[in-house]
Amino acid sequence: MEPGLYSDARGLWSFAGGAGMLPAEVLAELGPALASRRAKGRLSALELPFGTAAFRDLQDEAEADLRALLGLPPRYHVLFLQGGATAHFWFVPMNLAGLSGHAAYLETGLWSRRAIAAARAVAEIRIATEPAGLADARGAAYCHLTPNETADGACLPALPALDPAVPIVADMTADLLTAPIEVERFGLIYASAQKNLGTAGLTLVIVRDDLLGQALPGTPAPFNYALQAREHSRVNTPPVAAIRVAASLFKWLRRQGGLAAMERRRARRSATLYTLIDSSGIYSCPIKAAWRSPVNVCFRLPSPELEAQFLDAAERRGLLHLKGHPAVGGIRISLYNGVPDAAVEALADFMAEFARPRAGGASP
């Protein structure tokens, strides 16, 4: 099979909210790594028992590359878990709420609302609807943020000013590894892998050492962060193949120039699209400039009929999965790490072409 055939040789591009595309080079390398037994006598990553030295080497290498990408200090543990960010909406409070009686959550869109709904079943939650509202989070076990709201196309312009004693917990499923972060400002970061870190099945939890050991009784062992930290994420069988995919992607990110290069790329690509949207006379983005996500660009057309026509015409060009989140509607362009520049250029050309004959009559 021709490497890269799916991802770009035929111009078949996915802008899905998740799972996202993988870089063509990563796919080409994974073919043999996942599917065939190597001459060296290694098992494929699909068959690799997790008790082997080969798996431990793979996990150690993935962790070392991730630490290098993020500049992660030793007092942060990297846990390779399962469940998806959604399961951790419950497991985060189960692990951390024991630190104090309550937790503060910032509500910014669909995913933070889901995190709040889950956490309510576990702990006492106080909700702020804007960053300034977190000023009185004093005494909270933690403050939960969703820095990038994938479904709404919004991002937090900056981390809120908080009592330094309150650890920040962030669901970074859509934006981890798309830009450098000030790791030291976070107590815990979690992210499903299928957007920017590889493929579904792996959920990364990065947690500061002093926050461990407070889990509520009854926290399931595979999701007890202190236990998993002690057992090197091998309390039970880890998602071996998904870790293999992440390992390749981390190496690819380092070859691209790391997170600073990814941040420049996401800024350039999202700016092209937002400029096009604002000047088109037919597309409109409801998010105010400072809050616009550089990862998920969401916009509307003047009518549901035009949105359907847009999606249909895009699909015929090989520009796939542009429909907005079902709970939000409209159009969404997800610009994850694996989406090549050629895809974004093809999409921008298509959007300009689609707008041109329709802009006059459709603009307000």
Ligand X SMILES: *Cc1c(COP(=O)(O)O)cnc(C)c1O
> What is the per-residue binding string for ligand X in 93-112, x denoting contact by CB under 6 A?
------------------x-
Binds ligand X (CB under 6 A): choice among 95, 146, 178, 228? 146
Instruction: Name residues whose C-beta falls within 8 Å of residue 214's C-beta, 6 or more positions apart in sequence.
Output: 95, 96, 97, 98, 99, 141, 226
d(C-alpha 280, C-alpha 291), whole Å:
20
What secondary structure letter does DSSP report for 338? T
- Cβ 122 vs Cβ 93: under 8 Å: yes
User: Under rule CB under 6 A, which residues in 301-340 are in contact with ligand X?
Assistant: none
d(C-alpha 357, C-alpha 32), whole Å:
47
**CB of residue 358 to ligand X, shortest distance in Å:** 31
Query: Per CB under 6 A, does 201 bind ligand X?
Result: no
**CB of residue 149 to ligand X, shortest distance in Å:** 7
Query: Does the annotation mark 90 as catalytic?
Result: no
User: Under rule CB under 6 A, which residues in 161-180 are in contact with ligand X?
Assistant: 171, 173-174
Query: Per CB under 6 A, does 192 bind ligand X?
Result: yes
**CB of residue 56 to ligand X, shortest distance in Å:** 26
**CB of residue 349 to ligand X, shortest distance in Å:** 27
**CB of residue 117 to ligand X, shortest distance in Å:** 12
Query: Per CB under 6 A, does 223 bind ligand X?
Result: no
Considering the candidates 8, 65, 111, 152, report the single residue annotated as catalytic. Answer: 111
* Pairing assessment for the beta strands 319-320 and 296-299 based on DSSP bridges: unpaired
Structure tokens at 194: 């299928």
Question: Segment contacting ligand X (CB under 6 A): 6-14, 81-89, 232-240, 313-321?
Answer: 81-89
Query: Does the annotation mark 111 as catalytic?
Result: yes
- Cβ 192 vs Cβ 175: under 8 Å: no
Query: Per CB under 6 A, does 18 bind ligand X?
Result: yes
Considering the candidates 8, 65, 152, 171, report the single residue annotated as catalytic. Answer: 171
Burial 16-31 (b: 16+ CB within 10 A, else e): bbbbbbbbbbbbbbbe
- Tally the C-alpha atoms within 13 A of residue 4's C-alpha that lie toward its C-beta: 9
d(C-alpha 91, C-alpha 118), whole Å:
9
Q: Which is nearer to ligand X, 112 or 280 (CB)?
A: 112
Query: Per CB under 6 A, does 81 bind ligand X?
Result: no
- Cβ 208 vs Cβ 189: under 8 Å: no
Residue nearest to ligand X (CB): 84
Query: Which residues are identified as catalytic?
Result: 111, 171, 195
Interface with ligand X by CB under 6 A: which residues? 18, 84-86, 111, 146, 150, 171, 173-174, 192
